Amino acid sequence: MIRISLDLMGGDFGPQVVIPGAAKALERHPDISFVFFGLKEQCDPVLAKFPKVREKSVFHDCELAVRMDEKPSQALRRGRYISTMWRSIEAVKTGDADVAVSAGNTGALMAMAKFCLRTMANIERPAIAAIWPTLRGESIVLDVGATIGADSQQLMDFALMGGAMARALFELERPTIGLLNVGVEEMKGQEEVKEAGRLLREANIDSLEYSGFVEGDDIGKGTVDVVVTEGFSGNIALKAAEGTAKQIAAYLRAAMSRTLLARIGYLFAKSAFDMLREKMDPSKVNGGVFLGLNGIVIKSHGGANADGIAAAIEVGYDMAKNGLNQKIENDLKKYHAKRLPPMGPEAA
């Protein structure tokens, strides 16, 4: 049984969407149980509509919910120990849940997760990893906004964590890793990126395959299984991709409704357009994974519908079932063991 701790008040719609999303996830994964954290008056009427979910869950009434517009420091001061967001994370720390999922305020969720769970040994900064639809299937991109900037060692840590996530999610023995850069040539890019490339080449890690630098268009192509970058450029890439998908969808809707002939043509090509819509639906790949913490936390889009919430829960399910954090810890131990100087007679 995989135990999912769920912040029912997170996101733009709260329990009205989160609980139906939990029901969809439960239909596909009967071995899930839930630990719910919410405001009882708002959650009880919705839970009453989903008896199967209620049977597989434990509900905890909380004092408050973190607002979507709260600053992380304010949310931490106001909501520590008593908010639905904090208590859903704390359930992972205490061992009452295997993974926490929230559609709430991203900054507040990261601040609370770092404060409550702490970072793993040898990890300076956590990262948010996004699952990215590509022409080959799906890839992982990190960091997409946990922190701004990263030095070469932090990029190296991101590569190790992203590789472990690819093994857990995609069941790959040796995922390919690429560093996002302004060109594929070794002399191009910032010094931190070039140095991270050197570290990855020289580390010769048996759990991942370093493929060199990749450019922005390689993300959508699926050139590598894991794209590593720092949070500033990663977040811009994510928002640009989401905006482009919406732009293309708007163009298609306008084009298909412009003339009678276009509307008739749409009817003949409806199956193709339905397939395109399915591919471009952000709810199908919803769920950013916080990597580098002593516990698994999943961030859903705040505006996600029930399908999106279910997708985020299922990402958490896969991460817990496939031992994500154990894989990260093992890879970090192997890498840092190689970096330690050998113990000579004088050192001994």
Give the per-residue SS3 of 39-86.
CHHHHHHHHCCCHHHHHCEEEEECCECCCCCCCHHHHHHHHCCCEHHH
> By C-alpha distance, which of 265, 271, 270, 304 is closest to 288?
304
Are 65 and 86 within 8 A, CB to CB?
no
What SS3 state is found at 139? strand
Are 327 and 168 within 8 A, CB to CB?
yes
DSSP 94: T
Dig out the tokens for 279 from the structure: 């591919």
User: Over the stretch 198-233, which tens digit does the pLDDT of each residue have?
Assistant: 999 888 888 899 999 999 999 989 999 999 999 899
Q: Which residue, chain included where needed, has tokens 């049977």? A: 55
pTM (2 d.p.): 0.86
Q: Give dist(CA 250, CA 275) in Å, integer.
A: 16
Q: Give dist(CA 289, CA 201) in Å, integer.
A: 26
Q: Give dist(CA 154, CA 22) in Å, integer.
A: 35
Q: Give dist(CA 64, CA 95) in Å, integer.
A: 23
Could you tell me where in the chain the CATH 3.40.718.10 domains are found?
1-123+292-324, 125-285
User: Over the stretch 250-294, which tens digit does the pLDDT of each residue have?
Assistant: 887 787 777 877 777 767 777 766 666 666 555 567 889 999 999
Question: What share of the chain has pLDDT > 90, as a percent?
Answer: 59
User: Over the stretch 110-152, which tens digit does the pLDDT of each residue have?
Assistant: 999 999 999 998 888 899 999 888 888 889 999 898 888 889 9
125-285 CATH, one of 3.40.250.10, 3.40.718.10, 3.40.50.1370, 3.40.190.10:
3.40.718.10
Supply the Cα-derived Rg of the chain in whole angstroms: 21
Report the CATH fold assignment for 1-123+292-324: Isopropylmalate Dehydrogenase (3.40.718)
The DSSP bridge partners found for residue 57 are: 34
- First-to-last C-alpha distance (Å) of the chain: 47
Are 103 and 301 within 8 A, CB to CB?
yes
